[in-house]
Amino acid sequence: MATDHTETLARLANLKASAPQNIAVQAFDQQWFETLPATDQDRILACLASGLANPDSEMGCYAGHADDYDRFKTFFSDVLSHHHKTPSDAVHRSDWAGPSAPMDVTALGLPPLSVRIRVGRNLADLPLPSAMGAKDRQALEDRMQPVFTALAADPQFGGGYHSLTPGHKAETSRDTYHSLIDRHLMFRPLDTDPYLTAAGIAGNWPVGRGAYVSHDQTVIIWVGEEDHLRIMVMDRTTRLDQIFTRLRGLLDRIEAQPVLEFATSARFGNITSCPTNLGTAMRASVHLALPNLTRGGSDKTAKQIARAHGLSVRGMGGEHTAIGNDGTVDLSPSARFCITETEILIRLWTGIQALKEADQAVID
Ligand code: ADP
Ligand code: ARG
């Protein structure tokens, strides 16, 4: 029997008036919804679960299956064009060529910075995290073990896996888990995040979750966070371009493993749970001290200036956390979709320069 959606649709209709910033709620068209077969109606409302439970959401939806973006193109094209300010028929392109010259922040008068570049990836043949059951989550972790064994044997990427799954042979202790979080190597408990919880992404916590960390702690692969995989390189360095090149090398090594095929779309690029990450799924960030712009402890001015340069300011523990007491912020280009990987790196480089100048201008 088809599910009765009367209550959910009434809630959606109310939120259209009270949550104007909630992109998913605003993009939802009930007339279009009525034309869908019953199973698709269930599926699209599952995508909106987080935004319905959390009216303050900015995005308000997560895909549950890799083909949701194409299957529900009417809805997602609208969502994507609102968030990314792209035309509704935009086609994403990738380019990892990198910059034509070294990007050394010494040239900007800066010391070595903590630089991190991550990409999200999802396996093509498993549901996305919001639609996974405990068995899928365990299957994901199991599928990654041969990949980690291969990386562990590679002198460039050697390290070990820390599992959060109770009883796993590589299960990590509570203390080690928290120490990994403090060192920015591991993600926080997903079930403390109301958006991820309502979406189902935090489901079965902590089954199937973990992180591979290289011995030198610069290569990190998260398993079972918002996307199946978050693959990253992080280091204190002056050379942004070297982190980028190292990440590409890591991806090549991972993609060479026969057990993995990542979900992509000819139109949307790399598929991710959250439409904000679709396309490159890349966030390239630096921890940058902006003591003058953040004087008094507020990130408001820094955020305003950053936005004008296409950049986002986050806190020292990542999204939804506070900036450092010394005025250090996490600065990254906001765009992920219809921008290339190389362009993201260039935007970070020019952004660091612009924010540093703006910070200096406060005291000049
Ligand atoms: P994501 O980047 O995967 O979207 P978050 O913003 O939540 O997720 O950040 C995840 C972790 O990565 C947090 O511990 C955050 O402090 C850390 N992090 C992000 N950028 C940097 C950086 N440039 N240097 C050190 N740690 C970083
Ligand atoms: N779901 C939240 C919202 O709609 C967060 C979206 C962006 N952040 C993310 N980690 N995907 O506001």
Instruction: Kindly state the DSSP code that residue 262 receives in the 8-state scheme.
Output: B
Rounded to the nearest whole angstrom, what is the distance from the C-alpha of residue 339 to the centroid of ligand 1? 21
Q: Which residues in the chain land under pLDDT 50?
A: none
The pTM score is 0.97
**DSSP β-bridge partners for residue 239:** 104
Cβ < 6 A, ligand 2 pocket: 50, 57-60, 195, 226, 274, 276, 319
Handedness of CA 253, 258, 262, 266 (dihedral sign): positive
What pLDDT does residue 2 have? 80
- In this structure, which ligand is nearest to the CA of 60? 2
Per-residue pLDDT tens digits for 96-153: 999 999 999 999 999 999 999 999 999 999 999 999 999 999 999 999 999 999 999 9
- In this structure, which ligand is nearest to the CA of 276? 2
- In this structure, which ligand is nearest to the CA of 277? 2
- In this structure, which ligand is nearest to the CA of 58? 2
Rounded to the nearest whole angstrom, what is the distance from the C-alpha of residue 62 to the centroid of ligand 1? 20
Instruction: Kindly state the DSSP code that residue 173 receives in the 8-state scheme.
Output: P
What pLDDT does residue 268 have? 95
What phi and psi values does residue 244 have, to the nearest 5 degrees? -60, -50
Please say whether the beta carbons of 333 and 284 come within 8 A.
yes
Rounded to the nearest whole angstrom, what is the distance from the C-alpha of residue 320 to the centroid of ligand 2? 10
43's enclosing H/E stretch is helix 38-47
How far apart (Å, rounded) are the C-alpha atoms in residues 23 and 5? 20
How far apart (Å, rounded) are the C-alpha atoms in residues 161 and 360? 43
Instruction: Indicate which residue's Cα is closest to atom 16 of ligand 1.
Output: 317
Please say whether the beta carbons of 115 and 104 come within 8 A.
no
What pLDDT does residue 360 have? 94
> Under 8 Å CB-to-CB from 88, ≥6 apart: which residues?
77, 78, 80, 81
Handedness of CA 245, 250, 251, 256 (dihedral sign): positive
What pLDDT does residue 364 have? 79
Residue to mutate, 116, 236, 283, 319, ligand 1, most ligand atoms under 8 Å from C-beta? 116
Rounded to the nearest whole angstrom, what is the distance from the C-alpha of residue 277 to the centroid of ligand 2? 9
Instruction: Indicate which residue's Cα is closest to atom 2 of ligand 2.
Output: 57
Distances (CA, A) of 246 to 10, 228, 251: 50, 21, 9
